[in-house]
């Protein structure tokens, strides 16, 4: 049994990751500034509420830990990271600088940083029919958001700590992770959760609004696959960034159509061309994950969307009942 810290343990990926590690029999300490996740059962050995923008709190969080999965971040979907820049860079830079240094001082055996596909340059993502982004494509650097710049900076910070202090560090670049028990409302939700909520709330023969023209493309990775890949990376000997995602590219229109079909409703799609859209196309090359980890996604997009939609639909129904009472 290892002693493992999962920061961001109140968030979507962090709570799912902690739950799987807890199921494996490890001692799991989850830390977050707040716990508003939707997982009902106990998924940790110890739960600590701390603001990791404080170095002293990071020292407390990492004390006595063998392994650290650092998933703590101020983040959200395209609407949020388009509108918020300074706060994201300020908060996340502090968290990541302090967490790395605290982990070094407390002699953590291995440290994992959760990076993002947002590190990739805008000039490689201008077309809908986009090639899969390889890990080395991150340079020359030109991310499209402040969030992406901070993630790329922290990757280099991890590289410096590896070189100067011989820290054992792993870096995962997540590509559009989705699934049930995640944020689906409030402004920080991502595209799949937002579309599922819109369809769930719409009546039969109703309408939903899609941001952009619907022809922009993405690839998506189901949460269970992302968690499995993350743990495999942490346990591996590979110390360079690794994409954890899917190489199946779909348009937002196709995504919406699958969700609408799952719902059993007939719904008209409207378009808001003034809304934030992000890059035109983004896809993952997962060759490295296949080669060095033996990992690839196992849950199809249709199956993952079905699980996600059913959970969000249930949450929306429960909210409607409460609102009427």
Contact yes or no for 135/238 (Cβ under 8 A): no
Instruction: Please state, in angstroms and rounded to a whole number, the distance separating the CA atoms of residues 324 and 320.
Output: 6
Give the C-alpha distances (Å, rounded to integers) separating 155 from 75, 167, 256: 17, 13, 33
Q: Provide the annotated active-site residues.
A: 147
- What gap in Å lies between CA 266 and CA 294, rounded to an integer? 41
What backbone torsions phi and psi does residue 250 show, to the nearest 5 degrees? -135, 150
3-state secondary structure of 120: coil
Here the tokens at position 273 are 């061309």
φ, ψ of residue 321 to 5 degrees: the values are -65, -45
Cα gap 276→80, rounded to integer Å: 9
User: Where does residue 86 rank: exposed (0-12), middle (13-18), buried (19+ CB within 10 A)?
Assistant: exposed
Encoded tokens for 131 = 């090639």
Q: What is the DSSP string of 63-119?
A: TT-SEEEE------SHHHHHH--HHHHHHHHHHHHHHHHHHHHTT-SEEEEEEEGGG
């Amino acid at each position: 049994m290892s002693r493992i810290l999962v920061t961001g343990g109140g968030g979507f990926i962090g709570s799912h990751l902690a739950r799987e590690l807890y199921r494996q029999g490890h001692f799991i300490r989850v830390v977050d500034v707040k716990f508003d996740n939707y997982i009902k059962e106990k998924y940790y050995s110890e739960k600590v509420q701390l603001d990791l923008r404080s170095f002293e709190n990071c020292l407390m969080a990492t004390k006595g830990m063998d392994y650290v999965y650092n998933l703590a971040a101020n983040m959200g979907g395209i609407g949020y990271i388009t509108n918020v820049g300074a706060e994201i860079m300020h908060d996340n830079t502090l968290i990541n600088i302090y967490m790395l240094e605290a982990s070094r001082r407390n002699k953590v055996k291995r440290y994992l940083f959760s990076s993002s596909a947002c590190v990739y340059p805008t000039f490689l993502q201008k077309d809908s029919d986009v090639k899969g982004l390889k890990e080395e494509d991150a340079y020359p650097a030109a991310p499209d958001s402040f969030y992406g710049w901070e993630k790329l900076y922290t990757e280099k910070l991890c590289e410096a700590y590896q070189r100067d202090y011989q820290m054992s560090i792993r870096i995962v670049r997540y590509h559009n992770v989705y699934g049930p028990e995640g944020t689906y409302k409030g402004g920080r939700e991502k595209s799949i959760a937002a579309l599922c909520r819109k369809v769930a709330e719409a009546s039969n023969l109703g309408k939903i609004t899609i941001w952009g023209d619907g022809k922009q493309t993405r690839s998506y990775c189901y949460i269970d696959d992302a968690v499995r890949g993350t743990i495999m990376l942490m346990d591996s000997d590979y110390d360079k960034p690794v994409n954890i995602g899917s190489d199946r590219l779909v348009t937002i229109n196709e995504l919406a159509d699958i969700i609408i079909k799952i719902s059993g409703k007939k719904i008209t799609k409207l378009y808001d061309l003034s809304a934030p859209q992000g890059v035109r196309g983004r896809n993952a090359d997962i060759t490295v994950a296949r080669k060095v980890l033996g990992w690839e996604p196992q849950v199809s997009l249709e199956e993952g969307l079905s699980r996600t939609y059913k959970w969000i639909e249930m949450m929306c129904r429960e909210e409607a009942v409460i609102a009427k009472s």
